Structure 1
């Protein structure tokens, strides 16, 4: 399985856009410089009052499909 490490700093207000249906995907640069896009809904379990902050490991299949996201 392939993986990337990303650092996220998404405010609670920015993440609210997901609940309003304005945002479907998160697009971010991984630490190695690659751009990655994944469904914003996959981050719901990490949302706090301040939003989403921290480093995350994104695992994906050889076909490029999201398998798992975990906080580091």
Structure 2
């Protein structure tokens, strides 16, 4: 099965993440390096939340149906 990989940067402060994305249905809009706009459930970013927020470079992998496979912080 073919996978699609998207790279993007995030810089969301802790306060902003907690305030805006704490609901179960909340989502985060990201802009990939290739110019695409993607919508991710905020819960996918929770493992990367630190006291500084969610910051860094990320790699999102989805399957051929655009279903989530993995999200990893790469820097």
Scaled by the length of structure 2, what TM-score is found? Answer: 0.87
Consecutive unaligned residues of structure 1, counting only runs of 5 or more, are none
Could you say what the CA RMSD is over the residues aligned between the two structures, in angstroms?
1.4
Q: Could you list the per-position Cα deviations for residues 34-65 of structure 1 after superposition, in whole angstroms to 9, with x for gaps in the alignment?
A: 11111110111100001010000000011111
Tell me if the contact between 1:25 and 1:38 (Cα under 8 Å) persists in the aligned partners.
Answer: yes
Distance 1:33 1:56, change over 3 A: same
Other-structure match for 1:67: 69
Q: Extract structure 1 runs of 4+ deviating beyond 4 A.
A: none
The residue number in structure 2 matching 1:2 is 4
Structure 1-normalised TM-score?
Answer: 0.90
Q: Unaligned 5+ residue runs, structure 2? A: none
Q: List aligned pairs for 1:9-24, cutoff 5 A.
A: 9-17=11-19, 18-19=21-22, 21=23, 24=26
Aligned residues: 71
